[in-house]
Amino acid sequence: MIKKTDLPSKVCVNCNKPFNWRKKWKRDWNDVKFCSKRCKGQFKKK
C-alpha cells in the first residue's frame, strides 16, 4: 500500500496550488492539468 505522502503531485495550471494523485485520475494522470472542475471552468473563461 502506498502512503498518502508518497503519492505523485502536480501544480494546478489555473490556481498554482499543488494537488495529489487521485484514484479517479489513475488512467489519465499524465493529462490532468487542473485540481478541480471549478479551476477548469475558470481557466476557460479567461
In sequence order, what DSSP letters do the residues of the chain get, joined into one string? ---GGGS-EEE-TTT--EEE--GGGSTTGGG---SSHHHHHHHHH-
What is the torsional sign of CA 14, 11, 32, 30? positive
pLDDT tens, position by position, 1-46: 889 889 999 999 999 999 999 999 999 999 999 999 999 999 988 7
pLDDT value, residue 4: 87
The whole-number pLDDT of residue 44 equals 83
pLDDT value at residue 29: 97
Q: State residue 30's pLDDT score.
A: 97
Contact 12, 32 (CB under 8 A): no
pLDDT for the residue 19? 97
**Residue from 18, 22, 16 nearest 2 by CA:** 22
Single pTM value for the model: 0.82
